[in-house]
């Protein structure tokens, strides 16, 4: 889809993605020269088309290989096997990164999380302003949890999903009182703002008690953040290639040997629930600087449902 960067355009784009569209590009608004605007569109649109086509071809090849196996032909090379998580640390926060295909992947995952989830969920989805507002609204309507855009300076509460607002990085400030959300407009990272690597780097405050999830998307945003989290003993889940619109971000994490589990999209919510079942929300931990976060709410007792910042 090729959409205007307006409330009307954003709302229709989110609806289009929900109906199955693979991705979108926004029309340029900050160029005086039509030639410069066209070049900006080309630079953003062409790589997305190529990535989506490549992914579709890979899926078609995988389907053909499966059919050949069923017909008695030589089996295809085995895919990367999902590893079994043995790290076993108590999960206190879930951080999620996504891009191309992310809105539908997030809908699948977040709608599968129970109302009693005892940890906060923080999401960095590559999207511009306004679009993230409608994304949060849609996800809130699908989920038993409260889902909304993050607000600068608020506490991160268990039972709430916080979406990084478009054009803002989502970071965290750790203290004895808990984790406070910090929104910044520092330079883009991996050409993105919000960037997954920024969120994941901030989540190192939880150390080994973090669960990082990387969903479908172009590029490698999130790979370095996963490396930092894994070095502290955190757990990492990635979406598999077969169910990703583009296996760029999760593929980069997997190829770097940083994934504990590689799962299809319809299995990720159950894995999050499984890994957070023993969690107890915020608790005092040496993972934080100082004395660590205080004991926070164990159910969704944070701010009520909202429709974005």
Residue 132 CB: number of other CB atoms within 10 A? 29
The pair phi, psi for residue 138, each rounded to 5°, is: -65, -45
Q: Is the peptide bond before 92 cis (omega within 30 degrees of 0)?
A: no
Here the tokens at position 225 are 């953040």
Element (H, E) at 100: none
Task: For residues 34 and 303, give the distance between their C-alpha atoms in angstroms, rounded to a whole number.
Answer: 45
Task: For residues 149 and 309, give the distance between their C-alpha atoms in angstroms, rounded to a whole number.
Answer: 6
Residues in the chain: 309
Q: In this structure, what DSSP letter does residue 206 have?
A: G
Residue 264 CB: number of other CB atoms within 10 A? 14
Task: For residues 156 and 302, give the distance between their C-alpha atoms in angstroms, rounded to a whole number.
Answer: 8
Rounded to whole angstroms, what are the CA distances from 207 to 48, 88, 152, 220, 281?
34, 13, 22, 22, 14
The pair phi, psi for residue 162, each rounded to 5°, is: -110, 120
Beta bridge pairs of residue 192: 189
DSSP-derived 3-state class of residue 274:
helix
Question: Of the candidates 159, 112, 116, which has an alpha carbon nearest to the alpha carbon of residue 277?
Answer: 116
The residues annotated with a catalytic role in the active site are 99, 126, 221
Question: Of the candidates 212, 274, 214, which has an alpha carbon nearest to the alpha carbon of residue 241?
Answer: 214
Name the one residue in this structure whose structure tokens are 């960067």: 5
């Amino acid at each position: 889809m090729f959409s205007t960067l307006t409330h009307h355009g954003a709302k229709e784009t989110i609806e289009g993605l929900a109906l199955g569209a693979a991705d979108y590009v926004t029309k340029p608004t900050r160029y005086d020269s039509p030639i410069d605007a066209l070049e900006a569109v080309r630079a953003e649109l062409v790589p997305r088309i190529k990535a989506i086509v490549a992914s579709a071809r890979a899926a078609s090849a995988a389907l053909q290989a499966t059919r050949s196996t069923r017909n008695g032909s030589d089996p295809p090379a085995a895919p990367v096997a999902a590893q079994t998580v043995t790290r076993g640390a108590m999960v206190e926060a879930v951080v999620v990164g996504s891009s191309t295909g992310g809105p539908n992947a997030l809908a699948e995952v977040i709608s599968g999380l129970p109302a009693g989830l005892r940890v906060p969920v923080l999401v960095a989805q590559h999207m511009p302003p306004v679009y993230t507002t409608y994304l949060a609204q849609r996800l809130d309507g699908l989920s038993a949890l409260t889902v909304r855009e993050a607000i600068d300076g608020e506490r991160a509460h268990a039972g709430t999903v916080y979406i990084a607002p478009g054009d803002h990085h989502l970071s965290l400030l750790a203290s004895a009182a808990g984790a406070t959300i910090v929104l910044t407009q520092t330079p883009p990272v991996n050409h993105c703002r919000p960037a997954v690597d920024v969120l994941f780097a901030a989540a190192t405050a939880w150390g080994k008690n973090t669960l990082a999830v990387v969903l479908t998307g172009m590029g490698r945003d999130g790979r370095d953040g996963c490396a930092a989290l894994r070095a502290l003993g955190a757990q990492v889940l990635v979406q598999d290639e077969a169910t990703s619109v583009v296996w760029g971000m999760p593929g980069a994490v997997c190829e770097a040997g940083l994934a504990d589990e590689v799962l299809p999209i319809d299995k990720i919510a159950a894995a999050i629930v499984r890994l957070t079942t023993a969690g107890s929300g915020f608790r005092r931990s040496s993972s934080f600087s100082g004395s660590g976060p205080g004991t926070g709410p164990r159910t969704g007792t944070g701010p009520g449902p909202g429709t974005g910042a």
